[in-house]
């Protein structure tokens, strides 16, 4: 399943980031991941609900257990192939705002990008 590998990769990056943080600041270790914030590409072929479901499953038994996976929609850079207008889309409405053409060239928009990890530290 596509979503499963995305989530596994995401979780690995987040857990590695926490490990590195703990190695560099042993006096203020992160004990738990509270929230992971990601940008999801506008034309990524994944279901947000499937992503969060996979996340809960994979997070079990790790520092991310019970953490919230927050998915934001990343604005998608695109260019109208009819009039050359460059703009960014924030919703799935694939029409040029200037000339109304539906022929757009997308720049990215497929991925799932880790933006930030919020952790709880021991006192």
Residues near Zn ion (CB under 5 A): 80, 82-83, 85, 96, 98-99, 101
CA dist 45 and 84 (Å) reads 26
Phi–psi pair at 114, nearest 5 degrees: -75, 125
Q: How far is the CB of 90 from Zn ion (least distance, A)?
A: 17
**Among residues 49 and 81, whose Cβ is nearest to Zn ion?**
81
Q: Is 70 helix (H, G, I), strand (E, B) or coil?
A: strand
Q: How far does Cα 100 stand from its chain's mean position?
A: 30
**Among residues 60 and 103, whose Cβ is nearest to Zn ion?**
103
**Among residues 16 and 88, whose Cβ is nearest to Zn ion?**
88
**Among residues 29 and 98, whose Cβ is nearest to Zn ion?**
98
Is residue 60 within 8 A of residue 82, CB to CB? The reply is no
Q: How far is the CB of 99 from Zn ion (least distance, A)?
A: 3
Is residue 38 within 8 A of residue 70, CB to CB? The reply is yes
């Amino acid at each position: 399943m596509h979503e499963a590998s995305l989530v596994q990769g995401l979780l690995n990056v987040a857990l590695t980031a926490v490990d590195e943080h703990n190695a560099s600041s042993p006096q203020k270790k992160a004990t738990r991941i509270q929230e992971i914030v990601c940008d999801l590409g506008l034309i990524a072929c994944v279901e947000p609900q499937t992503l969060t479901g996979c996340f809960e499953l994979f997070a079990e038994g790790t520092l991310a257990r019970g953490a919230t996976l927050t998915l934001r929609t990343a604005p998608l850079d695109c260019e109208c192939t009819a009039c050359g207008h460059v703009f960014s889309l924030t919703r799935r409405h694939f029409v040029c705002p200037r000339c109304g053409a539906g022929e757009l060239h997308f720049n990215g928009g497929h991925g799932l990008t880790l933006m930030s990890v919020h952790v709880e530290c021991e006192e």
